[in-house]
Structure 1
């Protein structure tokens, strides 16, 4: 894309995770003068240790009718991948009620269709980014297997497969346990314990933190201004527009503003009188070294639906991530959750049971009740503010497509 002969103006992006950085890259490419502000270093939040899968074809939202059947077990089982800690927080209660209201077939189908379209655009844009920047990010395109524990969940998966096929998704195939083992030989021990799987040959994986750090370096080299270690505390308004963000180290002025602050977006939205329905879903990950002997660890990305755990190969490492805790802004790395991920890894891939260097991590995914992110101008917001937040577990997958939409909106009249 050709740059404008004259800069369209100064854009300030709040947030230096994968969403904020891809937005900054896209705007800088269009000729905008860009500032990025964040209280931490690039990729320090939910981007730092996420599941690493680029799930362009498997985008079924968490808000799905099947949640009602699973809810008692998910909430009450001691080893449940979902944990809900009630708090005296109206935002948590409002989000939870909206989430349950979204667990309907019609809502899930509509969200799936929209996510598939955004994911397809994101795949093309990320391919362009990787080619343009020659990113070293442990990228692979070895496909993905989603494993189902019983006939009921496998039947539901095949219905979802039919829906996504009708919506123009990438080719996917329902496989028997033996066929799953053929696709990924490292599942030899585990395959007899599942009912089947869905294989998507086109799915990819990459190290999101490496992408963030590479983008940060390239953008800084091209003149993008980074204000790191500065906490945004509010906004300075003049009439119907914002003229600056207020930080703990002074105000930062710009012409246009993009709120891409992950879970902090809700509070910063409230400061403007906006209801931003984003709530943190806490997740955990471990990153293991992979033995050199072949067949010890998967080459294909694997998702175990029963355990809500994903496995993604990153070069000589294996990223294992999962769980969803609605516990507010609690970023503690709880030993029992890390132990659960390690035990799951050993159960699915016994060859890795003795791994000791776990690279434990936790992060807060910014989720909306429906699973559809908030992108673009919002009703009641200042005329020069755009949102780019609420991507949940699909932030890495949807980042570049979302950045494209923000750029399109900024390049059009207010």
Structure 2
């Protein structure tokens, strides 16, 4: 089957690889000069399979007023005269209840664990001498650190429920937390406790995309074409069916077109009457070079109160966070990056150099999110058009599972997990 994939981020590239494995003729169209150069470029780096609870939770709305008043808030909102923003917000608020949040979490955990199995199989198959399969992959575990006693107690109450869903976690007091991760010694007296998940992993998402591109171009897969620097102008329809993709060089014919272009997919889908409820959650990161002897964490750390994640990737520390519901593209807000720098210095004193900010490679990306947190994976209501969209901040974590789910459906195989949970037709 001739398959054209629009978008070469981590979701598009994993989809291309899985479909090439199935023997399809795969063409990837990407406007950038290489894979993973936008939202996948410098994300948090955590493959966080056990922490997939949606942003739309029962306690979120109560926190929003306080967040909006803080300059260093983990969430920002700027209202716009855009009906799409208000439709998304209305659906988001509707999902902010315990029943919906728990149901969504169960579905995302199944997809997350499936993704973990596929990622581990991929790494085992393509293991490098450094053990990282070319993208600094490592299983280091994760600590979610709580400074507020009530928040920690609430997290502890969830352990049995999480265990019933397949998560392997344990609660640690402050001494056990610092013993496991000595880099946290500087804030020992501030720690109420932490939740430790040994199975969580890290990796460089951009380099993972590059690794996939190399595999797809090494001659092992017939009929694979990666067309970088190619702008997609629109989708071609004939007789109510999508039959190709229009580019400046002409139409690329297809039996199936898969949209994996993140938030940029929305205007391309609109002329076909497909209007997925997606909104960009703008996030930020810095990448701190680690000098020899730096007291940086080896285990991935999440600062629960500030919603900032820390992941050691090779000889760097990736620091990422924020969810800004704003328009304005990927312009880097110095204030948001400054918050990441300040929080990192407070948590891990001495590891952030005093050099100009550019040394920390500040980055911003637009994470395409659905209101309820469930991605859209599978055939749309338009014949010949499939979607793999809406992973929000979990693109790296869920990419392999989403690609596997889509490949199974396209091949007519019984999917490993319930495909209806992520039905793209609801777009």
Superposition TM-score, scaled by structure 2 size: 0.91
After TM superposition, the structure 1 = structure 2 runs for residues 13-412 of structure 1, keeping only pairs within 5 Å, are: 13-40=5-32, 41-134=34-127, 135-169=133-167, 171-222=168-219, 223-293=223-293, 296-356=295-355, 357-378=359-380, 381-412=381-412
Paired with 1:191 and 1:233, the residues of 2 have a C-alpha distance of 54
Paired with 1:70 and 1:162, the residues of 2 have a C-alpha distance of 25
The CA RMSD over aligned residues, in Å, is 1.4
Paired with 1:108 and 1:221, the residues of 2 have a C-alpha distance of 43
Paired with 1:251 and 1:161, the residues of 2 have a C-alpha distance of 53
- Where 2:137 maps in the other structure, the secondary structure is coil
Residue in structure 2 matched with residue 6 of structure 1 by the alignment: none
- Where 2:72 maps in the other structure, the secondary structure is coil
Residue in structure 1 matched with residue 4 of structure 2 by the alignment: 12
4+ long deviations beyond 4 Å = none
**In 2, are the aligned partners of 1:265 and 1:276 still within 8 Å (CA)?**
no
State the aligned residue count. Answer: 401
Deviation at 1:89, TM superposition (A): 1.1
**In 1, are the aligned partners of 2:72 and 2:336 still within 8 Å (CA)?**
no
**In 2, are the aligned partners of 1:122 and 1:402 still within 8 Å (CA)?**
yes
Give the 3 Å change call, closer, same or farther, for CA 146–355 of structure 1 in structure 2: farther
Paired with 1:200 and 1:267, the residues of 2 have a C-alpha distance of 39
Residue in structure 2 matched with residue 5 of structure 1 by the alignment: none
Paired with 1:289 and 1:219, the residues of 2 have a C-alpha distance of 31
Paired with 1:372 and 1:190, the residues of 2 have a C-alpha distance of 35
Deviation at 1:160, TM superposition (A): 3.2
Per-residue deviation, residues 357-412 of structure 1 (Å, max 9, x unmatched): 2111111111111111111123xx22222111100111101110000011011112
Paired with 1:249 and 1:81, the residues of 2 have a C-alpha distance of 43
Paired with 2:175 and 2:244, the residues of 1 have a C-alpha distance of 59
Give the 3 Å change call, closer, same or farther, for CA 400–329 of structure 1 in structure 2: farther
Deviation at 1:247, TM superposition (A): 2.4
**In 1, are the aligned partners of 2:379 and 2:386 still within 8 Å (CA)?**
yes
Give the 3 Å change call, closer, same or farther, for CA 307–14 of structure 1 in structure 2: same
Deviation at 1:355, TM superposition (A): 4.8
**In 2, are the aligned partners of 1:137 and 1:206 still within 8 Å (CA)?**
yes
**In 1, are the aligned partners of 2:288 and 2:352 still within 8 Å (CA)?**
no
Deviation at 1:329, TM superposition (A): 4.5
Deviation at 1:161, TM superposition (A): 2.8
Structure 2: which 5+ residue stretches go unaligned? 128-132, 414-427
Paired with 1:251 and 1:70, the residues of 2 have a C-alpha distance of 49
Superposition TM-score, scaled by structure 1 size: 0.94
**In 1, are the aligned partners of 2:145 and 2:191 still within 8 Å (CA)?**
yes
- Where 1:126 maps in the other structure, the secondary structure is helix
Structure 1: which 5+ residue stretches go unaligned? 1-8
Paired with 2:248 and 2:173, the residues of 1 have a C-alpha distance of 57
